[in-house]
A and B are shown apart, each in its own frame.
Chain A
């Protein structure tokens, strides 16, 4: 993100320049650029945090609305992704709580029936399904730290700040998350091997 100054008047200024070049659109250029640049990442982050495919667009909407409304408070000197990740994490937490989400409700089998978007490499698609199934073995707080650090390469201090948790807690979640993930991968791999042998 560029270090543009906050624009407190943005939400109330529909007449602001319209980066999306479409009448009636209200994003200012900076947020519009953020939206375009980060949408895919938000989408996959939500999926990695355990959202059902069918809910991804709803949740991406929620993340972007919250981001839009909080955008003036976003510290431009900080990287954008951890900030957005914090929002996505919160949105998914609410989503899971709201739906009385349980691991069983979102089984790997259910995911496996979801078409792999624009996916030609079945092996990779299978690997990804396995990753998501293994991630399901992690509690959400560990899962979030694991996803941000392992998949997005977010620096742990930046992530701790974005999630509002102590640094040591963040490291601890990462350690536990790695351990559980590796165990889950091993276990799923064994099951896989058992089915195919």
Chain B
């Protein structure tokens, strides 16, 4: 057994008192793990290259956006809501239908088509089959005054704020809907700007600073400040590089405020938009 020959303890533990001798010596053995099997690096490298060499997602996004425009226009003109529902494959159809029927705007192009665009050839073979990422036809951002258009937008967040201790400081959330619609998937189409699958930020420092403020507000349980910061971020950087982080912060704020339903809806949206989202795991951890 291993404890007979404890390897030298080669690193300062983060908390020296945390793990006892047996655990520590086992972990030392694990740290000395040999490299990956011979050839693995090259084998995986060729596969990664094959995956990323696939046509850029932007092409699919363009087609997807076109599809959406056609679909939305057809709906607006004909009112053929039933047809639209039939094309959807998620259970949120009624809300979405309501939102499409709402007089938001013909530019209200959701980032996702009624029928998903052809999957990117770059879809990871070993990752979950794309959730119908693009199956979520929601209204566009430009209808902040219409609470119907976004089932988890302004209304629910306002509810959350009202539930918070500082409800008198509740911040109007004009950008809530917009924000929700502009979580750009890393690899999936973004409805209105399909040519930007990866989102450079115009002002990364300002983006970071706003979300740091939001983070600090969350830590201090100053929920109105949190929502103010994320809303401001949504207004200034609707397609910024940190939109998912912003949404994750908002979700945590909603959880803090006790509105788990809204938080869950937004968490689901993140997963739909970007199954690979780095934040999905933290949402899992919140039980969302």
Contacts and interface: CB of A to CB of B under 8 A. Distances in A.
A45 B161 CA distance: 40
B73 interface: no
B128 A153 contact: no
B49 A98 contact: no
Given A68-B48, A166-B252, A130 B2 contact: yes
A8 B48 contact: no
Nearest to A89: B281
B36 A127 contact: no
Interface in A92-113: 93-95, 97-98
A50 interface: no
Interface stretch (B88-96, B138-146, B166-174, B271-279): B271-279
B144 to A, nearest CB: 26
A163 B281 contact: yes
A76 to B, nearest CB: 11
Most chain A CB inside 10 Å of its own CB: which residue of B13, B25, B44, B204: B44
B40 A186 contact: no
B128 A73 contact: no
Given A72-B198, A93-B280, A150-B19, A62 B11 contact: no
Interface residues of A, number: 83
Contacts of A164: 245, 248, 278-279, 281-282
Nearest to A35: B45
Given A6-B200, A93-B284, A94-B128, A61 B245 contact: no
Interface in B1-50: 1-5, 7, 11, 13-15, 18-20, 22-23, 25-27, 29-38, 40-41, 43-45, 47-49
B119 interface: no
Contact of A90 (B15, B126, B280): B280
Contact of B22 (A36, A72, A118, A185): A185
Contact of A97 (B18, B49, B52, B128): B128
Contacts of A43: 35-36, 40
B49 A153 contact: no
B85 interface: no
Given A12-B56, A26-B49, A123-B2, A128 B44 contact: no
Most chain A CB inside 10 Å of its own CB: which residue of B19, B248, B275, B281: B281
Contact of A11 (B30, B34, B37, B56): B56
Given A97-B128, A189-B3, 9 more contacts: A11-B197, A14-B53, A39-B44, A60-B36, A98-B128, A117-B35, A164-B278, A165-B285, A166-B252
Interface of A: 6, 8, 11-12, 14, 20, 24-27, 35-36, 39-40, 43-44, 48, 55-62, 64-66, 68-70, 72-73, 75, 86-87, 89-91, 93-95, 97-98, 116-119, 123-124, 126-128, 130-132, 134, 141, 144, 149-151, 153, 155-156, 162-167, 169, 174-175, 178, 181-182, 185-186, 189, 192-193, 196
5 contacts: A40-B41, A73-B198, A90-B280, A128-B26, A169-B285
Which 7 pairs of residues, A with B, have the shortest CB-CB distance? A127-B29, A58-B126, A127-B2, A43-B36, A164-B282, A131-B30, A124-B29
